Structure 1
Amino acid sequence: MTYKLRLDPTVHEIYRTLPDPARADFALLLLDALADPLAHSTPYGHDDGVFRTIARGTVTAAILIGDDTLTVIQITHLG
């Protein structure tokens, strides 16, 4: 199953301001996570299977996995 992506306008603005290499890393993260979020993420604190972390290169994001949605809660750029 492919999940639907949800981004709050504030989170989308953070994505928009990332440098191009970080945007590319984030796009790859999302492609993998939308196909199988549990396989392409790690627990964020206690492993409840819902609140997870994805990371690649200099980008990390906190995600919330719903029944058929993946919501990006926060994006962090370490560059």
Structure 2
Amino acid sequence: MTYRLHFSPDIFDTYKQLPGFARRDLALVLVDAQENPLDRSEPYGQDDGIIRTVAQGHVTAVIHLGHDTRTLTVPAIAYAGPA
């Protein structure tokens, strides 16, 4: 079952400010994670199956999995690449 993607307005503003190629990389990895987030992400610290990370290229995002509600929330985005 597909998870519903959720960004807070602040995090979506961060996403919009990324360079185009970084937005594309993040969008692709998040779309892939929506179908099977545990297989498409890595643990963030201790593997609790809830807080995970996804990364592609120069961009990484922390994701919070709401298994009961089938939501995938992005609380943080990090970009470490050229402007």
Q: TM-score, normalised by structure 1?
A: 0.98
Deviation for aligned residue 1:37 = 0.4
Q: 1:78 aligns with which of 71, 77, 80?
A: 80
Deviation for aligned residue 1:39 = 0.4
Q: Any residues of structure 2 matched to 1:17-32 within 5 Å, and which? A: 17-32=17-32
Q: Any residues of structure 2 matched to 1:41-60 within 5 Å, and which? A: 41-60=41-60
Deviation for aligned residue 1:43 = 0.3
| Residue identity in the other structure for 2:7 | L
**Residue correspondences, number:** 79
Stretches (4+) displaced over 2 A: none
Percent identity of paired positions between Structure 1 and Structure 2: 51
Distance in 2, matches of 1:39 and 1:61, equals: 15
SS at match of 1:52: strand
Q: TM-score, normalised by structure 2?
A: 0.93
Deviation for aligned residue 1:58 = 0.3
